[in-house]
Structure 1
Amino acid sequence: MKLSSLQGFTAAIEAGSLRAAAERLGVSQPALTKLIRELEQEVSAKVLTRTSRGVAPTAHGLLLYEHATKIQREVGLAHARIRALSGKAHGEISVSAVPLAIVTLVPQAIRTFASEFPHVKLRVHEELYPAQLSSLRKGEVDITVGGIPSGIPRGEISVTPLLKTSMAIVTRKASPWSKATSLRQLHDAPWIYTDTKRATGYAAELFASQGMSAPPCGVVVNSTLTMLSILERVDYVALLPVQLARHPWAQMYLSQIAVVEGMLELNIGAMVGGADVRPIVRSFLVHLVRAASGGAENP
Structure 2
Amino acid sequence: MKLNQLRDLVAIVERGSLRGAARHLDVAQSGLTRSIRNLERELGHPMFERDARGMVLTPMGRVFYQRASSAMNELRRADEEMAQAQGGALGTVVAGLSIMPHLGMLPGALGPFRQRFPGVTLKVIEGLYPAIEPGLRNGTIDFYLGAASQAAPAPGLIAETLFENTRIVVGRKGHPLAAARSLKELSTADWATPSLDVIAAEDLNEVFSRFKLGQPQIRLQANSAMSLLVALAHSDLLTMLPRQWAEFALTQHALQVIPVRERLTAPPIVFLRRADLPLTPAAEHLSDLLKRYA
The change in CA–CA distance for 1:86 and 1:232 in structure 2 (over 3 A counts) is closer
Deviation string, structure 1 residues 251-281 (Cα, Å, up to 9, x no partner): 4433322223223244222222x4232431x
Say if 2:219 is the partner of 1:222.
Answer: no
Question: 1:56-205 counterparts in 2 under 5 A?
Answer: 83-86=83-86, 91-117=91-117, 120-127=120-127, 130=128, 132-138=129-135, 139=138, 141-153=141-153, 155-196=155-196, 199-201=199-201, 203-205=204-206
After superposition, the C-alpha distances for 1:154-176 in whole angstroms (9 at most, x for unaligned) are 74432233455432101223333
CA–CA separation in structure 2 for the residues paired with 1:292 and 1:104:
11
Which whole-Å CA distance do the structure 2 matches of 1:135 and 1:101 have between them? 15
Residue number in structure 2 paired with 1:7: none
Q: Kindly indicate whether residue 287 of structure 2 is the aligned counterpart of residue 288 of structure 1.
A: yes
CA 1:116–1:156: 2 relative to 1, 3 Å: same
Question: How far apart, in 2, do the equivalents of 1:262 and 1:181 lie?
Answer: 12
After TM superposition, the score normalised by the length of structure 1 is 0.57
Q: 1: distance between equivalents of 2:111 and 2:259?
A: 36
Shift of 1:147: 1.0
Aligned to 1:231: 232
Residue number in structure 2 paired with 1:277: 277
Output the amino acid matched with 1:239.
M
- 2:218 maps to amino acid: C
Change (3 A) 1:196 1:111: same
Separation of aligned partners in 2, 1:174 and 1:83: 53
> How many Å separate the matches in 2 of 1:158 and 1:102?
21
Instruction: Name the counterpart of 1:41.
Output: none
Q: Deviations over 1:75-129 (max 9, x none)?
A: xxxxx876524367764332121233123423544544455555543211322xx
Matching residue's letter, 1:171: G
- Tell me, which stretches of 5 or more residues in structure 1 are unaligned? 1-79
C-alpha distance in structure 1 between counterparts of 2:111 and 2:166, whole Å: 26
The one-letter code matched in structure 2 to 1:263 is: L
Number of matched residues?
212
- In structure 2, runs of 5+ residues without a counterpart are 1-79
Distance 1:154 1:199 in 2: 18
| Whole-angstrom CA distance in 1 between matches of 2:142 and 2:81 | 19
CA contact (8 A) 1:162 1:270 kept: yes
Distance (whole Å) between structure 2 residues aligned to residue 218 and residue 182 of structure 1: 21
Q: Deviations over 1:126-164 (max 9, x none)?
A: 22xx1x522223546332221122441574432233455
SS at match of 1:179: coil
State the identity %: 22
Q: Using the alignment, how far apart are the partners of 2:198 and 2:101 within structure 1?
A: 23
Larger Rg: 2
Q: CA deviation at 1:222?
A: 2.5
- Corresponding position of 2:21: none
Contact 2:99 2:225 in 1 (8 A): yes
Distance 2:211 2:236 in 1: 24
Q: Conserved in 1, the CA contact under 8 Å of 2:149 and 2:198?
A: no
The residue correspondences of 1:246-265 to structure 2 (distance < 5 A) are 246-248=247-249, 250-265=251-266
Q: Which amino acid aligns with 2:134?
A: R
Pick closer, same or farther for the CA change 1:219–1:113 going to 2, 3 Å. same
Distance 1:156 1:187, change over 3 A: farther
8 Å CA contact 1:198, 1:204 repeated in 2: no
